[in-house]
Amino acid sequence: MFHKEGYKIILISTIILLVAILTIDKFIEIDWLRMSISMIFVIFYILVLQFFRDPKRNTIQSNKHILSPVDGKVVVIEEVFEPEFFKDKRLQVSIFMSPLNVHVTRYPMSGNVVYSKYHPGKYLVAWHPKASTENERTTIVVKNDTFGKILYRQIAGAVAKRIVNYAKVDESAVQGADAGFIKFGSRVDLFLPLDTKINVTLEQKVKGGEDIIASL
């Protein structure tokens, strides 16, 4: 199953692959060279398919925990000052996604979307300390009666050039549901209340929509 954000690119890649294979077969007579060039196109095509995959996740919904919004590796767990929305101290949990990870963004909790804003910016590597405030990014805040307000931020990286955000103010968020997509490498930051219990550790690999990041 593939994400809808990849349909156009997958179609174009399929056409390119077919044209390339037919052209190579027609004009290149040396077997090893024909095979080598064909394999390059096939590998590129497979990479495109795997990047836009959208596997089904076994989401266990609960207002008592926060799920990982994305697949990746936990690279930051610390208390920080969040300057955009809360303007006070929060617990930040950051998850880095390589180009090989699933890049679907999922709602970390159910509730109402109270804030959603796009920020143009730079394309520093996603793990750079200033990426959270200087890179192209979107900031989304979801509120419910259990956790109050939590913020998650989609951040473009050095390779990622497009952030897709489906969250709109006053709409309902469903925990684990599709909330957007970041194309080709990126990071997502979560900002949680200070009294939240963190359930992950640094360098831990997590799955979006399944693994519990934090709980009450």
Query: Each residue of 128-183: pLDDT tens digit?
Result: 666 666 778 999 999 999 999 999 999 987 665 578 999 999 999 999 999 999 87
Residue-level pLDDT at 98:
86
Instruction: Indicate the pTM of the whole model.
Output: 0.88
Which residue of the set 13, 94, 116, 186 is catalytic?
186
Catalytic residue list contains 94: no
User: Residue 135 and residue 155: Cα distance in Å, rounded?
Assistant: 6
DSSP assignment letter at 135: B
Angle between helices 31-51 and 7-27 (to 10 degrees): 180
Record the tokens describing residue 62, joined without a space.
């609960």
Is the pLDDT confidence value at 206 over 60?
yes
Residue 72 has pLDDT above 80, yes or no: yes
- pLDDT exceeds cutoff 90 at 123: no
With cut-offs at 50, 70 and 90, classify the pLDDT of residue 127. Answer: low
Confidence of residue 26 (pLDDT cuts 50, 70, 90): confident
Phi, psi of 53 (to 5 degrees): -65, 150
Residue 51 above 70 pLDDT? yes
Give CA–CA dist 162/152, Å, rounded: 17
Encode pLDDT of 9-24 as tens digits.
999 999 999 999 999 9
**Percent of the chain topping pLDDT 90:** 72
Q: Does domain 65-215 have CATH number 1.10.1740?
A: no
**What is the average per-residue pLDDT within 66-87?**
96
